Structure formats: C-alpha cells, structure tokens
Amino acid sequence: MSSKPGTSSGSSAPVGKEVEFQEFYTEVKQIEKRDSVLTPVQQIERLLRAGSTYFNLNPFEVLNVDPDQPLDEIRTKYKRLSILVHPDKNMDDRERAQLAFEAVNKAWKTLENEETRQKCMDIIEEAKARTDINVQEKKKKLKKEGKSTRVEEDDPEKLKHAVYVLTMKLFADLERKKRTQEQRDMEDRKRKREDEIEQEEKSKFEKEWLKNYEDSREGRVASWKNFQTGASKKKEKKEQAVDKPAKKIKVFRPPKHKPESK
C-alpha cells in the first residue's frame, strides 16, 4: 500500500512540534528554577520555612550550593543571596529579611573559614560513608533472606536523598553536642564565679575582723592595764591588812550577881 500524499509531511509536523514543545518546556523549567533562586521572596521563604532552624545548620543548604563546588563559586552565590535578602531590598518584609540575611552571612562565614569548612565536609563524607554501610547491610540481609538485593538507594536520586537526610541528622547531632558543651561551660563559669564571690566575701570578712581587732588593741591593752592595776591595789590592801595587828575585841561581861540582904 502506498501512503497517502502528505502523510509523511503531516506526520513529521507533529513530531517537530513535540520537539519544539519539549524544548520550550525545558526552557520554562530552567527559568522557573532560576527565578526560584533569584527571587527575594522565594529565598526569604526558603530560609525561614518550617524547620529552618534544623535545615540551616548545614551552610551548604543555606547557600543552596553543592559541597564540591569551588569556593569562588560559593562566594558568588553568597553575594547574590545576600543582596536578594538584604533588609534594605525588602522594606515590606524587613524583619524576616533580616533573619534570612543573618542566616546567609553565618553560612558564608562558616564556609569561608578553612577549618570550619573542613568540619562541614567531614560531616558530609561521614554521611556518605554511613549511608553506603547502611545500603550494604540492607543488601546482606535481603540476600540472607533469599530475596532480591535491589534496594531503593540503587536509584541515584534516592541515594542522594538518603545522604541528604543523614547529613542533616549529623549536623543536628553536632549542634546538640555544641549546645550541651556550651551549657556545661556556662555552669562551670557560674560555679567558678560563685566560688570566687564566696572567697572574696570570706577574705573581706577576715580583713574587717583583723582591722577591728587592731583598732580595739589600744582599748584592750588599757583595759588589761586597768585590770592589772586594780588587782595590784587589791593585793596591796590585803597584804597591808595582814601586816596590821589585830584589834582587841571588846567582850560584853554581865554585872556580878549580888545576893539580897535580909
């Protein structure tokens, strides 16, 4: 059978339109993705979304960059974001913009410093390693049970998500340890300060007691001298009394009885 005239051209037209549509759709999605990154309102919402206190522990998550990106690219992203969420650029939502701006700055300071950035990279590497171990354990268990060893983490996107979740958990664990240590340090400083105050009060009391003791020395010496003088005088009087001859004591004698004369 021969094809109808125009069938070939007619069938190629829809195919061409479909390709054009796919290209257009891809371009629209790219624009949407770009706008979602470059729109101030979207960024403020992202940085202050529910659970942001948890998500924003990861500086790479805050700046929306891949950990493997060069520092120069991360710096460029930071500058762009800091301008987008700057309070002066969002006067109608200044308070929330300020919070988002602070989160962006904190993330950049963490990644800008080589030491703190390496700590973040260590957390991500640990998350990857532990995820691989978890996957291997799952497969061993399935093999032992005689089941298929295929797991959802075999899908690159699912594996990436598993690493992401564990990374967030490790950042949260690190933050808890940090806060616990800060709490202990604060309690230690408080205890130390209380001991210092107690020691200062004790030292102050001892100094005041010593001062009062010294101030009263003259009075105590005078009192002792007076006491000694008084004791000496009493002793002298007693001695004088002993040396004097004893006075004769007059004894009352009743008159002699005279008999009556008859």
Give the residue from 177, 179, 135 showing the smallest Cα distance to 155: 135
Which two three-digit tokens encode residue 25? 């759709």
Q: Where are the domains of the chain?
A: 25-112, 119-217
Does domain 25-112 match CATH 1.20.1050? no
The rounded distance, in Å, linking the Cα atoms of 236 and 3 is: 159
Which two three-digit tokens encode residue 126? 């640990």
Task: Return the pLDDT at 184.
Answer: 85
The rounded distance, in Å, linking the Cα atoms of 207 and 246 is: 59
Task: Return the pLDDT at 8.
Answer: 43
The rounded distance, in Å, linking the Cα atoms of 8 and 27 is: 29
Chain-centroid distance, C-alpha 100: 20
**Angstrom distances, CA of residue 194 to CA of 180, 185, 205:** 21, 14, 16
Task: Return the pLDDT at 203.
Answer: 86
Q: What is the pTM of this model?
A: 0.58
**Angstrom distances, CA of residue 52 to CA of 110, 118, 251:** 17, 23, 119
Give the residue from 76, 60, 77 showing the smallest Cα distance to 68: 60
39 DSSP 8-state letter: -
150 DSSP 8-state letter: -
The rounded distance, in Å, linking the Cα atoms of 43 and 103 is: 11
**Angstrom distances, CA of residue 17 to CA of 3, 9, 13, 26, 202:** 22, 12, 6, 14, 92
Task: Return the pLDDT at 30.
Answer: 55
Series of mean pLDDT values for 10-residue runs along the chain (262 residues): 43 54 54 60 92 92 93 94 94 95 96 95 95 94 91 92 92 88 86 87 85 76 73 65 58 62 54
